[in-house]
């Protein structure tokens, strides 16, 4: 057997050694040099934060802090910086002020709760910001590379294509579909309440997700509820496993850890492939129906409009809205269309159960303005001012997305603050919603009256209230979400009195959207529909 020549072995050894040295240098640059450089730049401007921690940053400290709280938290003060949702806020804002620096793994984050800076960045300089790569990868795994993760002309193209579905004119025709989507679960509640003599305790959280699932299925995807329910289930499992992976030391230390054949990675791959197969099935069924002449068009729902607008092809490198864009945005809206609105409605129910005087005011308004359910119209739904005030105050206290994160794509000189290229900026929406400098001394109280003259007059700075994001990239479905929440709540209030169960454990948490960790048990008392 021939031996490898010495010169070849030496050459191979040099190549291997070079690769190792390069990898080590690259690792140290990302995990040490870059974070310390950014810290030094911000320190010169008086911005400080907790000590730099190698590789994992403040992640372990934040996680332990979150886990230190009991299952049931007090529910009489809403100015606590949501420690079980955004522990960094509760840990570091009291020590370091409205702007501080901390590390999420190796990523240096500048946390901001100053709405003036938020406006400068998200409105005036939005084109200079991009998404964090790790966040984009996380979102892409769960909800695809659709509108939520796109930037530049690709984002603009998708926004133009999807926008008309969410315009007010389109929403006017969705009232009936939204009501039908809610009816199945509400009828189930009515039956259970009747069987128990007029009063029943139910954990309404899973049914709220079913309601939102039926609504998004009816309005956007041709009533494919059962398939949509499966898609949402696998997306939820995938997001839970991804977050568990973040707690692993190996995730932060081993390059390409997500690609290793670990048990968790195999589970995530399985969940992801299940989602992909189900979404492709819905798309292919709609396309085949047109190709075979079963229907003459793709339809006027969201999926139909996307397919009508889409070009052929599955390239991710084109600016066109193609079949891949349809696929990714289906994944996005199946998840976002259920999780965000369902949890917002859930927290709204919680607030009305806690504050029966506001529940009575909302019920009276629904009765006076809407009348009989078969006559409900979008124009009347928009007149539910008290319900809208309650919804806004609920979103202030429990915003679905507690933070937004972007990265400076270039050096930015703001008024009084320099942000270097590569800095991740965390916009602390929940913390701004709980800051008495913008909301007054009663910021910790549930007070929908603050919105009596609209959101713009509720606080001292318009960017201090941003439950749907802000700037050109605010949530495209905000009007849809508001209408859905108003309709579903109105239907509930006509049927039931809502009372908080003594079994409820108040413990807000967040995977991708803020939600009640231990469900939402509510006592439903039957009311006569008038």
Does the pLDDT value for residue 427 go beyond 60? yes
What confidence tier does 325 reach under pLDDT thresholds 50, 70, 90? Answer: very high
Q: Are 126 and 443 in contact (CB under 8 A)?
A: no
Give the number of domains in the chain.
Answer: 1
What pLDDT, on a 0 to 100 scale, did the predictor assign at position 242?
83
The parent domain of residue 428 ranges over 26-130+402-466
Does the pLDDT value for residue 1 go beyond 70? no
What confidence tier does 126 reach under pLDDT thresholds 50, 70, 90? Answer: confident
Between 202 and 235, name the one with better pLDDT: 202
Residue 54: HSE in the Cβ half-sphere, 13 Å Cα cutoff: 4
Residue ranges for the known binding site for heme are 475
Mean per-residue pLDDT of the chain: 90
Q: Are 350 and 491 in contact (CB under 8 A)?
A: no
Give the position of tokens 């303005």.
Answer: 369
What pLDDT, on a 0 to 100 scale, did the predictor assign at position 3?
67
In a domain, 457, yes or no: yes
172-185 average pLDDT score: 93
What confidence tier does 4 reach under pLDDT thresholds 50, 70, 90? Answer: low
pTM: 0.91
CA distance 408 to 207: 41
What confidence tier does 529 reach under pLDDT thresholds 50, 70, 90? Answer: low
Sign of the CA dihedral running 86, 450, 444, 208: negative
In a domain, 442, yes or no: yes
Q: What angle do CA 414, 455, 419 make, to 5 degrees?
A: 15
- Which segments within 23-112 are labelled E, that is strand? 99-104, 107-112
| Exposed e or buried b per residue across 125-149, where buried means at least 16 C-beta atoms within 10 angstroms of its C-beta | beebbebbeebbebbbbbbbbbbbb
Q: Are 480 and 166 in contact (CB under 8 A)?
A: yes
CA distance 492 to 185: 10
In a domain, 305, yes or no: no
Between 23 and 372, name the one with better pLDDT: 372
259-275 average pLDDT score: 90
154-179 average pLDDT score: 89
Length of the chain: 530
pLDDT in tens, 368-421: 999 889 889 999 999 999 999 999 999 999 999 999 999 999 999 999 899 999
What pLDDT, on a 0 to 100 scale, did the predictor assign at position 530?
53
pLDDT in tens, 74-117: 998 999 999 999 999 999 999 999 999 999 988 999 999 999 99
In a domain, 406, yes or no: yes
Lowest-confidence segment of 197-206, 224-233, 245-254, 487-496 by average pLDDT: 245-254
In a domain, 34, yes or no: yes
In a domain, 49, yes or no: yes
Q: Which of 192, 184, 235 is nearest to 212 (CA)?
A: 184
CATH number at residue 65: 3.30.43.20
In a domain, 67, yes or no: yes
CA distance 118 to 115: 5
Other CB atoms within 10 A of residue 234 CB? 19
Q: Are 475 and 468 in contact (CB under 8 A)?
A: yes
In a domain, 431, yes or no: yes
């Amino acid at each position: 057997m021939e031996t490898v020549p010495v010169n070849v072995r030496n050459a191979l050894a040099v190549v291997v050694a070079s690769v190792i040295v390069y990898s080590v240098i690259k690792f140290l640059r990302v995990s040490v040099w870059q974070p310390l450089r950014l810290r030094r730049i911000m320190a010169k401007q008086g911005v400080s934060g907790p000590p730099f921690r190698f590789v994992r940053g403040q992640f372990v400290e934040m996680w332990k802090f979150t886990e230190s709280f009991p299952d049931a938290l007090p529910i009489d003060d809403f100015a606590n910086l949501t420690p079980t949702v955004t522990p960094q806020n509760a840990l570091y804002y009291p020590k370091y002020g409205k702007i501080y620096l901390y590390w999420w793994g190796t990523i240096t984050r500048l946390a901001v709760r100053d709405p003036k800076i938020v406006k400068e960045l998200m409105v005036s300089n939005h084109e200079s910001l991009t998404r964090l790569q790790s966040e984009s990868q996380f979102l892409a795994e769960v909800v695809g590379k659709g509108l939520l993760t796109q930037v530049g002309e690709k984002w603009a193209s998708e926004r133009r294509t999807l926008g008309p579905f969410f315009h007010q004119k389109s929403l006017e025709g969705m009232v009936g579909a939204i009501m039908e989507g809610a009816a199945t679960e509400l009828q189930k509640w009515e039956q259970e309440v009747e069987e128990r003599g007029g009063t029943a305790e139910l954990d309404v959280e899973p049914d709220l997700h079913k309601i939102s699932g039926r609504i998004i299925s009816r309005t956007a995807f041709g009533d494919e509820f059962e398939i949509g329910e499966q898609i949402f289930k696998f997306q939820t499992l995938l997001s839970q496993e991804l977050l568990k992976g973040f707690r692993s030391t190996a995730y932060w230390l081993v390059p390409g850890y997500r690609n290793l054949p670990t048990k968790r990675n195999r589970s995530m791959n399985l969940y992801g492939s299940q989602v992909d197969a189900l979404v492709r099935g819905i798309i292919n069924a709609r396309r085949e129906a047109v190709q075979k002449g079963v229907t003459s068009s793709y339809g006027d729902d969201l999926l139909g409009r996307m397919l009508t607008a889409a070009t052929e092809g599955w390239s991710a490198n084109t600016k066109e809205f193609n079949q891949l864009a349809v696929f990714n945005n289906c994944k996005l809206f199946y998840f976002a269309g259920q999780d965000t609105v369902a949890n917002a409605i859930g927290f709204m129910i919680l607030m009305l159960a806690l504050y029966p005087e506001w529940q009575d005011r909302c019920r009276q308004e629904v009765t006076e303005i809407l009348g009989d359910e078969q006559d409900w119209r979008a124009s009347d739904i928009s007149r539910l001012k008290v319900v809208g005030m309650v919804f806004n105050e609920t979103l202030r206290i429990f915003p679905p997305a507690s933070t937004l994160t972007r990265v400076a794509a270039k050096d930015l000189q703001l008024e009084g603050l320099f942000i270097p290229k590569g800095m991740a900026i965390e916009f602390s929406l929940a913390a701004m919603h709980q800051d008495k400098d913008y909301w007054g001394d009663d910021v910790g109280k549930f007070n929908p009256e603050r919105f009596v003259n609209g959101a713009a007059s509720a606080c001292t700075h318009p960017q201090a209230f941003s439950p749907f994001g802000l700037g050109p990239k605010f949530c495209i479905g905000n009007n849809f979400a508001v209408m859905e929440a108003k309709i579903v709540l109105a239907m509930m209030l006509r049927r039931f009195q809502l009372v908080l169960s003594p079994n409820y454990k108040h413990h807000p948490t967040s995977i991708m959207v803020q939600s009640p960790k231990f469900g939402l048990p509510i006592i439903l008392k039957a009311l006569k529909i008038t």
